[in-house]
Structure formats: C-alpha cells, structure tokens
Structure 1
Amino acid sequence: MGWCALSCCGLQWVLQTLKRTDMREQLGTQGSGFGDCCASYWCPCCALMQEEKEMVRKSEIVTHAEYQPPQGMMYPPQQ
C-alpha cells in the first residue's frame, strides 16, 4: 500500500533505497547509502536487477559452500 502511495507522488525510490541498504548490509556487499539512493532514484529498474542478481549470486555461493554431495557406493575390494 505504501509503495503505491509513494509511486503516485514519485517517491517510490525512498522505499527502494531503504530495502537496498538493508539487503546490502545483510549480504555484506560494498557500497554506501548515497550510492543506494542514487541508483534507486535515477534508475530504479537497473537497481532492482542489480539487487536480484546479487541475491541470486550470494545464495548460490552459500548453497555450494554448505552442500556436500553424497559419496558414491563403495564396494569392498574383490579377492
């Protein structure tokens, strides 16, 4: 609801800036609040794409780091 109200006034970038900053801090991505604000204000579509790609990249890194594939079946040596 807030997004729609701010969009009508041309202020949707405020919420996007806050979300982008939270996500950047959570994922440990470099950047600044000023950069988040500029990206969200000047090109919100690009900023959304960057956020999505960063989230996918970080989740893939975490998934691969924690995932241990099962070892294959081991047969005893034949005599």
Structure 2
Amino acid sequence: MLSWLSILRLGLVQICLGAIVVLMTSTLNRLMVVELALPALLPGFLVALHYGVQLTRPNWGFRSDRGGRRSTWIIGGMVILACGGV
C-alpha cells in the first residue's frame, strides 16, 4: 500500500512531465507554423505521436514490473529522451 507521500511523489512526476509537454507543444507549434511557415500537419503529427506513445506507457510499466529489469527500461527511456532533445 502506498502512503500519501508516495502518491504525492508519483503525481509530482506526472505534473512535471505535463508541464514540459505543454511548453514544448506550444513552442513547437508556434515556431514551426508561424516562424518557419511549415504546414500545421507536422506539429499536429508530433503531438499525435506523443499521445500515441502515452497509450503504451501502462504496457511498458507492466512489462518492467513483470520482467524485473526496471533499470534497463529506465536507462532506455532516458536514452530515447536524450535523443529527442538533440
């Protein structure tokens, strides 16, 4: 059973991720469409891709819990995140 502090910590992680996504989505949308004159389909596709990946997150968590290789999944996620930042 999780304590209230543990639940708060888990929720804080999700809040921080959401704040980052909001900043990136609004910035990329304006930058790509207005400044670079790209079609709005491109940032729309990137946002859709983000939400598509979010649908798979519970499955990834379930697999990491069942497989017992959490460190591998965590490091893999950090590598993917770093590649996205480059």
Q: TM-score, normalised to structure 1's length?
A: 0.33
More RCO (CA 8 Å, sep 6+): 1
Q: TM-score, normalised to structure 2's length?
A: 0.32
Larger Cα-atom Rg: 1
Q: Which has the higher helix share?
A: 2
